[in-house]
Amino acid sequence: MALAAAESERQPTPEQSQSNVPRGNDTKKKSIPAGLWTKCPHCQNIIFKKSLVENNSVCEKCEYHFVLSAKERIELLVDSETFKELDTGLKTQDPLGFKGAKSYKEKIQQDEKKTGLDEACIVGIGQLLGCRVAIGVTDSQFIMGSMGSVVGEKIARIAEYATTHKMPLIIVSGSGGGARMYEGVFSLMQMAKTSAAIGRFQKKGNLFISVLTNPTMGGVMASFAALGDLIVAEPGALIGFAGPRVIEQTIRQKLPKNFQTSEFLMDHGMIDKVVHRTDLKTTIAKFINYLVA
């Protein structure tokens, strides 16, 4: 009884409890603004976004390379204030009148709003550590970077521009969607068109450097992305034609753990070098200085 009485004396009365509740401004909790942090999809490390951007969007813990937009790629590779975009007036049409859960036109409008791009590709000219280059970049955030008629036309035109002006050509591929089937056979035709343009460029003895990023798949990998005089890739990039699950279901065999990564493809002779994003600009500049007279 004495113990129970002592415990009851230590318990605050309802009136005391009410008096301890913070009032006025004391009840306001400090909130953290949204969008300051992100999680690495590879190691689950929580990263301050500002630090991630300062590190070229590479996880400091596991070296995972986050996906970059086409505009970010150009900022990474092209010297400041030297880039001039070309062929900006090309607009995607809807040749099949495609209908689905969303129409093709609705999908285009949605991704235009999301990315601020007119299409899944930016092409232009600029300088890379003082070297004049023609450059094209596909963006996986715009309909998975898939190649429709406008993307194919832009790639072909930048190859033709580089041929005419005898400039090294760099194409950075980030295309997980391959050929854009919203456009049917018109999208498949772009594989031949871009390959032919690259072939004419190389026939003149010009240098084409293909940069493969995560992901580079489908018709893009089966056409211009695989035709580089030099093919380099970022670490851990998924590269191939069909995806690993499709291949496993087709051949009914388990694939190696790192199958279709840039490291696996380098070990098997499909690409020339795996380059960390921090070193990409200087590495490409060295290739140009060595190989272009």
User: Could you give the domains of the chain?
Assistant: 35-66 (no CATH), 67-291 (3.90.226.10)
How many contiguous H segments (helices) and E segments (strands) does the chain have? Answer: 11, 9
- 170-179 pLDDT, tens digit per residue, is 999 999 888 8
Amino acid at residue number 1:
M
Task: Give pTM, 2 decimals.
Answer: 0.86
Q: What is each CA distance from 170 to 40, 103, 122, 293, in whole angstroms?
A: 29, 33, 12, 17
Q: Tens of pLDDT along 83-123?
A: 999 999 899 999 999 988 899 999 999 999 999 999 999 99
pLDDT at position 244: 87
Can you give the pLDDT at residue 5? Answer: 43
Residue 3 has what pLDDT?
A: 43
pLDDT of residue 87: 96
Q: What is the mean pLDDT of the chain?
A: 90
At residue 274, the 3 state secondary structure works out as strand
**Averages of pLDDT over each 10 residues, the chain, 293 residues:** 44 47 52 80 95 95 96 97 96 91 94 95 98 97 95 98 98 91 94 98 97 95 97 96 91 92 96 97 97 84
- CB-CB contact of 97 with 70 (8 Å): no
DSSP assignment of 217-246 = -HHHHTTGGG--SEEEE-TT-BB-SS-HHH
Residues counted in the chain: 293
What 3-state DSSP class applies to 292? coil
Give the separation between CA 219 and CA 179, rounded to whole angstroms.
5
Tokens of 222: 């089966």
Cβ(120)–Cβ(277) below 8 Å:
no
User: Which residues have C-beta within 8 Å of that of residue 182, sequence separation ≥ 6?
Assistant: 94, 96, 98, 104, 107, 143, 148
